[in-house]
Chains A and B, each alone.
Chain A
Amino acid sequence: DTEVTQTPKHLVMGMTNKKSLKCEQHMGHRAMYWYKQKAKKPPELMFVYSYEKLSINESVPSRFSPECPNSSLLNLHLHALQPEDSALYLCASSRGQAKNSPLHFGNGTRLTVT
Chain B
Amino acid sequence: QQQVKQSPQSLIVQKGGISIINCAYENTAFDYFPWYQQFPGKGPALLIAIRPDVSEKKEGRFTISFNKSAKQFSLHIMDSQPGDSATYFCAASSGDSSYKLIFGSGTRLLVRP
Contact = CB atoms under 8 A, between A and B. Distances in A.
Which of B36, B51, B101 has the most A CB atoms < 10 Å from its CB? Answer: B101
A4 interface: yes
A99 B105 contact: no
Interface of B: 31-32, 34, 36, 41-46, 49, 51, 89, 93, 95, 98-101, 103-106, 108
Interface string A89-102: 01010100111101
Interface in A1-23: 2, 4
A103 B100 contact: no
B11 to A, nearest CB: 14
A97 B45 contact: no
A98 B99 contact: yes
Given A40-B106, A107-B43, A97 B89 contact: no
Given A40-B106, A45-B100, A56-B100, A102 B49 contact: yes
A2 B43 contact: yes
Interface string A30-71: 010100000011110100101000011000000000000000
Contacts of A56: 99-100
A24 B31 CA distance: 29
10 contacts: A41-B105, A42-B103, A45-B101, A98-B32, A98-B98, A99-B31, A99-B32, A99-B98, A102-B34, A105-B45
